[in-house]
Amino acid sequence: MVELHGKRILVTGPTGQVGFPVARALARENEVFGLARFARSSDRERLEAAGIRCVKGDLGAGELDAVPGDVDYVAHFAVAKDPRADFDADLRGNAEGVGLLMARCRGAKAFLHCSTTGVYEHAGHHALREGDPLGDNHRVMMPTYSIAKISAEAVARFAARQFGLPTTIARLNVPYGNNGGWPVFHLEMMIAGQPIPVFPERPCLYNPIHEDDIVAQLPALLDAASVPATIVNWAGRDTVGIEEWCGFMGDLTGLEPSFVETDRTIGSVTVDTTKMEQIAGPTRVQWKDGFRRMVETFHPELVR
């Protein structure tokens, strides 16, 4: 097993929902470099307070000269989502960006590319496996997202072979925790009295994974890196519907969720975690415990 102690580790997307808790946890026992554009000074201050060394750069623009070339490991969590839904910009930021980053860090011992289960073709309540068909899953919500992430996977697969860089491509499913996540948006909608959109093919099932499990499983996923790249689902052991987790948050807060069926939202994306559990073991945070902690973090005044 990879031992992440006293290592030099590059984390991209360190200001984001997933990247920050990962970088913060790693910085306790490693020298961690956080790569971001740092458009806001408050982001830099937050990272530096957590012991993370800030590296200013831009994946889409290929501005990586400040990235140290001698890191031991790379955890790539950055994602480009242009607000204009610009395919050219998002292909540069995601697909070209990962290739340029892997070229820069070709001497690393392992490279983790965080992808998404949003790369799969919609398959209803079928538990998706790593070899299942890919498709434009998220277009109704994020027009460029699925295609850009599939493209990024293809480039990461190429770069792993081209540079002999052991790589894991981990397809993440609904990350959440004390630093946010999709369920927090649902909580805010409940507070505002807004109906939560759900796909007509109900229940809308996912495998939410807590940020604590993401941090805990990172060493094993790096250990599984290979050439050609290892591809694995990265998800919680519990299969939970939007309707169920909103109902649970309602029980915690006294708020009453309401739902509206629409085909303008994504349907179920539930996955098979067999391969992940063979690599890293099962996730440990039971979803109700994780959601309770999340709600207590964001709205402690509402918890009964």
The verdict on residue 288 lying in a domain is yes
What burial letters (b/e) apply to 54-72, b meaning 16+ CB within 10 Å? bbebbbbebebeebeeebb
Peptide bond into 175 cis (omega under 30): no
User: Which pLDDT band, with edges at 50, 70 and 90, does 82 fall under?
Assistant: confident
The verdict on residue 84 lying in a domain is yes
User: Which pLDDT band, with edges at 50, 70 and 90, does 83 fall under?
Assistant: confident
Q: What is the mean pLDDT of residues 260-279?
A: 97
Of 3, 6, 8, 25, the closest CA to residue 179 belongs to: 25
Q: What is the mean pLDDT of residues 192-211?
A: 98
**pLDDT exceeding 90 applies to what percent of the chain?**
97
Of 263, 246, 134, the closest CA to residue 187 belongs to: 246
Mean model confidence pLDDT for the chain:
97
Look at residue 48 and tell me whether its pLDDT is greater than 90: yes
The verdict on residue 153 lying in a domain is yes
**Residue written as token pair 């790369």:** 119
Q: Whole-angstrom distance between the N-terminal and C-terminal Cα of the chain?
A: 42
Residue-wise pLDDT tens digits, 225-235 = 999 999 999 99
97 in Cβ contact with 155 (< 8 Å): no
The verdict on residue 27 lying in a domain is yes
User: Which pLDDT band, with edges at 50, 70 and 90, does 145 fall under?
Assistant: very high
The total domain count for the chain is 1
The DSSP symbol for 93 reads: I
Structural domain harbouring 258? 8-302
Query: For position 71, what pLDDT does the model report?
Result: 98
The verdict on residue 272 lying in a domain is yes
Residue 184 sits in a domain of what CATH number?
3.40.50.720
Query: CA dist 115 to 18, 42, 298, Å?
Result: 12, 27, 26
The verdict on residue 39 lying in a domain is yes
Task: In whole angstroms, give the CA distance from residue 264 to residue 267.
Answer: 9
User: Which pLDDT band, with edges at 50, 70 and 90, does 168 fall under?
Assistant: very high
Angle of helix 19-26 relative to helix 211-223, nearest 10 degrees? 70
Q: What is the mean pLDDT of residues 205-230?
A: 98
The verdict on residue 15 lying in a domain is yes
16 in Cβ contact with 211 (< 8 Å): no
The verdict on residue 181 lying in a domain is yes
